[in-house]
């Protein structure tokens, strides 16, 4: 095969973005689709942070469009000095690395720092319309797939100011171009917590719903809304704000946190209002400040037994925290900005928070002593669990290890080709054991619904037989002691009935895996089996259908071939109703089955949703149902 100058391509304008969208928005899936919204929303939030805007309006259209408006300064529309035949607006919308956030003169801090986001939205959208109101005039320009479709138009006088961007994602790029209003609502809610003065209004035209977010207390309101006072070890929140870190200007840090006895800790971090689900240096600084502060208090008050050492896990297990930092030149790993990497920030955050933490702890010695006792109890439980837990490895000629009694293991020991099916009940488990490929597929039946780990305490967790069977079968530990390297199977597949009970069991399992084996979920090792609901037959031909929509399509296809043919439809009530050959063909055979991989698109949003749906607060579940009820109207199975 030849290779010469004609093989070298030069991509003009935004063509490279359309060819390789994964480099800019992380893929072409639903998470990437909503990343477009985040890019525009973060630009609007930058105007808020800079003090030029206090209102943002977001409209999820029922025609597949998304509109975001702010009342900031408006994108400049005068001719660009370097490209005098183009307006600054056109340059920003159609050129990569064009923006006002590189020299810190227009924005001291910003989330849209790369000059990439808005032009990427233009490139990956069928249409993009921008309306700018500034200096008493109203301007408009339209773009299509990265190219200008109209010149900049002066629409006349206007008393308002700000920028409105309306766009429709390109179905040639994204597999699914339907916006999920609930994701947009949560995205806006989290941004509103991060700036105490901003009002964010969301209009959901799909469900004819409206939401408005204003949190005068900022991140403090988030913790108060998340953890009730009665659930806190220390009733008063540890909160604070620092306007500069060390001697550096334009840096600011805000945090709010508390501890709970439940051990359901989580840290949510943000940089320049952008969520950092993979954490980074600001989270590291928070952790070190908390660990050092608690240790020093315990030592000063003679509360720390000589034989016991407090680890970071002991302190952080019950910590619920939000930390928000603003930096003029943040450094992230990747364009999607999931992890903050500025090396010097960790020590600055640690020092700033610890300076506030020490007096806060000593001002309330009795409650802090309760906190230390809770930390010590976790340390004792950790040591006891470590002594109890035997590391489970594959059986070999020299080691016969005890695996759960109901586990039917596979022969192959190569993790890259093996998979574990977690099956609902003994009946389905029996069919699955006969249907499996005994060389590579293991089956673990579970009895009924497992423990809801989002509500259970450590004692219930330790006593639950089904949970312990899962942990033992997987062999990788759990919680802070989970090790992906020790996982005994390459795929973990949840296989439940396609009904309400099956969905509930799957939800409980998903909650357990997300909270206690998070690295496994993030590594893409967890799957949901997709058993069919229907078998559609005409004569000797039979086709399995996943749901009602697919069933109707199969029926239509059969009748198109033979109008006089008799179509027979049978519905499966559960996995146990299928005989082993059917279960193998529909749900377990690698050549014919369908699996849904479980992924975490937005860690902060996912954690919040899991807590709302599976946590102790019934009111949060009810509110979630109210917000999302219309999504289930057509498919509600009661």
Which residue's entry shows tokens 């000063």?
A: 300
Catalytic position from the list 15, 54, 499, 577: 499
**Helix (H) or strand (E) segment spanning residue 385:** helix 365-388
Catalytic position from the list 170, 338, 497, 608: 497
Q: Inter-axis angle of helices 181-194 and 219-226, to 10 degrees?
A: 120
* Burial class of residue 572 (count of CB atoms within 10 Å of its CB; 0-12, 13-18, 19+): buried
The strand order across the sheet containing 568-571 reads: 541-545, 534-538, 568-571
Nearest Cα to Cα of residue 340 among 292, 290, 265, 285: 285
Catalytic position from the list 313, 358, 437, 501: 501
Q: Is 501 a catalytic residue?
A: yes
CB 433 within 8 A of CB 588: no
Nearest Cα to Cα of residue 261 among 370, 364, 398: 370
What HEC string does 312-344 produce? HHHHHCCEEEEEEEECCCCCECCCCCCCECCCC
Q: How far, rounded to the nearest angstrom, does the alpha carbon of residue 263 sit from its chain's CA centroid?
A: 21
Catalytic position from the list 204, 239, 314, 424: 424
CB 324 within 8 A of CB 254: yes
Contacts (Cβ under 8 Å, ≥6 apart) of 344: none
C-alpha separations of 106 from 115, 224, 381 in Å = 13, 34, 53
Angle at 302 between CA 297 and CA 306, to 5 degrees: 110
Q: How far, rounded to the nearest angstrom, does the alpha carbon of residue 488 sit from its chain's CA centroid?
A: 26
The strand order across the sheet containing 441-446 reads: 441-446, 419-424, 491-495, 526-529, 595-597
Write down the H helix ranges in 479-633. Answer: 500-516, 518-522, 548-561, 580-583, 603-614, 618-628
What HEC string does 56-110 produce? EEEEECCCCCEEEEECCCCCCCCECCCCCCCEHHHHHHHCCCCCCCCCCCCCCCC
CB 482 within 8 A of CB 465: no
Dist. CA 89–CA 297, nearest whole Å = 56
Which residues sit opposite 57 in a β-bridge? 69, 201
Q: Is 176 a catalytic residue?
A: no
Strand pairing category for 66-70 and 568-571 = unpaired
Nearest Cα to Cα of residue 424 among 525, 501, 511, 513: 501
Dist. CA 303–CA 361, nearest whole Å = 14
Check residue 485 and report its DSSP letter.
G
Give me the active site residues, please: 424, 497, 499, 501
């Amino acid at each position: 095969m030849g290779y010469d100058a004609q093989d070298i391509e030069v991509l003009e304008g935004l063509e490279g973005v359309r060819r390789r969208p994964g480099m800019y928005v992380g893929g072409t899936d639903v998470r990437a689709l909503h990343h477009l919204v985040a890019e525009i929303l973060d630009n609007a939030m930058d105007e808020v942070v800079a003090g030029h805007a206090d209102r943002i309006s977001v409209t999820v259209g029922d025609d597949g469009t998304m509109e975001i408006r702010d009342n900031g300064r408006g994108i400049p529309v005068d001719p660009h000095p370097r490209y005098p035949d183009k307006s600054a607006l056109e340059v920003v919308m159609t050129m990569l690395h064009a923006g006002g956030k590189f020299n810190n003169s227009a924005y001291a801090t910003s989330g849209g720092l790369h000059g990439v986001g808005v032009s990427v939205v233009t490139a990956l959208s069928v249409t993009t319309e921008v309306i700018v109101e500034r200096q008493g005039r109203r301007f408009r320009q339209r773009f299509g797939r990265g190219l200008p479709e109209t010149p900049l138009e002066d629409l006349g006088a206007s008393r308002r100011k700000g920028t409105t961007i309306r766009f429709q994602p390109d179905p040639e790029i994204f597999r699914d171009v339907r916006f999920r209003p609930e994701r947009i609502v949560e995205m806006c809610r989290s941004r509103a917590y991060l700036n105490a003065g901003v009002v964010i209004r969301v209009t959901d035209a799909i469900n004819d719903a409206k939401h408005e977010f204003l949190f005068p207390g900022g991140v403090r309101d988030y913790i108060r809304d998340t953890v009730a006072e009665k659930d806190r070890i220390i009733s008063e929140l540890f909160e604070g704000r620092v306007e500069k870190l060390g001697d550096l200007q334009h840096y600011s840090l805000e945090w709010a946190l508390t501890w709970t006895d439940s051990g359901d800790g989580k840290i949510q971090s943000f940089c320049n209002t952008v969520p950092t689900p993979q954490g980074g240096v600001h989270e590291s600084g928070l952790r070190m400040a908390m660990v050092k502060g608690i240790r020093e208090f315990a030592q000063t008050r003679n509360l720390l037994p000589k034989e016991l050492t407090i680890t970071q896990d002991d302190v952080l297990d019950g910590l619920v925290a939000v930390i928000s930092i603003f930096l003029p030149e943040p450094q992230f790993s990747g364009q999607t900005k999931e992890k903050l990497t500025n090396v010097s920030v960790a020590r600055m955050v640690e020092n700033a928070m610890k300076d506030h933490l020490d007096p806060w702890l000593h001002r309330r010695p009795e409650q802090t002593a309760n906190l230390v006792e809770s930390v010590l109890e976790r340390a004792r439980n950790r040591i006891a669990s470590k002594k109890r837990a035997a590391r489970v490895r594959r059986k070999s000629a020299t080691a016969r290890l005890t695996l759960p009694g109901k586990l039917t293991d596979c022969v192959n020991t190569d993790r890259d080709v093996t998979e574990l099916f977690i099956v609902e009940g003994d009946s389905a488990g029996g069919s699955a054991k006969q249907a499996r490929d005994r060389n590579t597929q293991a089956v673990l039946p579970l009895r009924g619904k497992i423990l809801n780990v989002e509500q259970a305490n450590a004692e219930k967790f330790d006593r639950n037989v089904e949970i312990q069977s899962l942990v033992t079968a997987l062999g990788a530990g759990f919680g802070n002691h989970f090790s992906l390297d020790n996982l005994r199977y390459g795929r973990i597949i949840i296989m439940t009935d396609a009904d309400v009970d099956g969905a509930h069991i799957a939800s409980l399992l998903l909650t357990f895996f997300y909270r206690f084996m998070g690295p496994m979920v993030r590594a893409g090792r967890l799957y949901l089996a997709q058993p069919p609901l229907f078998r559609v037959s005409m004569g000797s031909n039979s086709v399995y259908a996943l749901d009602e929509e697919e069933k109707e399509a199969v029926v239509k296809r059969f009748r198109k071939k033979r109008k006089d043919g008799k179509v027979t439809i049978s519905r499966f009530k559960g996995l146990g109703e299928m005989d082993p050959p059917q279960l193998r063909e529909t749900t377990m055979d690698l050549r014919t089955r369908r699996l849904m991989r479980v992924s975490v698109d937005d860690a902060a949003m996912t954690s919040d949703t899991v807590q709302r749906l599976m946590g102790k607060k019934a009111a949060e579940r009810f509110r979630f149902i109210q917000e999302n009820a219309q999504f289930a109207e057509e498919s509600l199975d009661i």
